[in-house]
Amino acid sequence: MGTGGVLRRQEAGYLWGELQGLSQGLGEALLRTRRKQPDVPAPDRPWDEIVPGLWMGGHEFSGPSGQREFAVVHDEFDVVQTLLRLPGHGPDPGVEHHVWPIPDGPLDGTQLAGVIRLAQAASDALDEGRRVLVRCYHGYNRSGLVVAHALVRRGHTATGAIQLIRGRRSPWALHNDLFVEYLQAGLSTARLLEELAE
């Protein structure tokens, strides 16, 4: 790094080359994500605890009879983060509720910034001993992105966070290749790349 914290010209070129390489990898993941996904089964449970106090779930699950059931949150959690809001799914009044609807696909810089903020809020709530649920439709991809980033913030590697989530929630968790690429690049880097592309 140059004097005064300013990048020298050669260092800036190196950084730009690194960003272009990451951008190409994210672009390839985007193409894989846009391909038709196989039918994804509903989870067996409405939500699962990934680490103590941090839960991941959805709005729908396959009940004991095999029929799809709605996962309605009441007051089981202190904080609920919702990435896909459907009416009638709670939580009860008085439960802290963060809503940030995002697609299960490519995210722009603003959407990634929201994911980063939710992960920080979840991590802060865990530090306070609060029970946190992060949910999306099935509780696989969007919620997985937030939960994985919260785990990375708490010291896990991206790969370790993904494996833990798949082991605790479902092998289908984080089957969105683009979200895995975001996590492996780092959400701050992915956000920068998306903002440069806009």
Q: What is the DSSP string of 149-197?
A: HHHHHTT--HHHHHHHHHHHT-TTTT--HHHHHHHHH-HHHHHHHHHHH
The rounded distance, in Å, linking the Cα atoms of 102 and 82 is: 10
Q: Does the pLDDT of residue 1 top 60, yes or no?
A: no
Examine residue 101 and state whether it is found in any structural domain, yes or no: yes
The pLDDT score that the predictor gives to residue 194 is 84
What is the structure's pLDDT at 24?
53
Tell me what the mean pLDDT of segment 165-187 comes to.
97
Q: What is the mean pLDDT of residues 88-95?
A: 94
Domain count, the chain: 1
Reading the block at residue 194, the tokens are 């998306």
Whichever domain contains 139, its CATH number is 3.90.190.10
Predicted confidence band at 197 (pLDDT cuts at 50, 70, 90)?
Answer: confident
Predicted pLDDT at 13:
43
Predicted TM-score (pTM) of this structure: 0.81
Please give the residue that has the higher pLDDT: either 78 or 65.
Answer: 78
Does residue 31 lie within any of the structural domains?
A: no
Q: Is residue 39 part of a domain?
A: no
d(CA 175, CA 74): 28
Query: Does 36 map to a domain?
Result: no
Is 148 domain-assigned? yes
Q: Quote the domain boundaries for residue 119.
A: 47-197
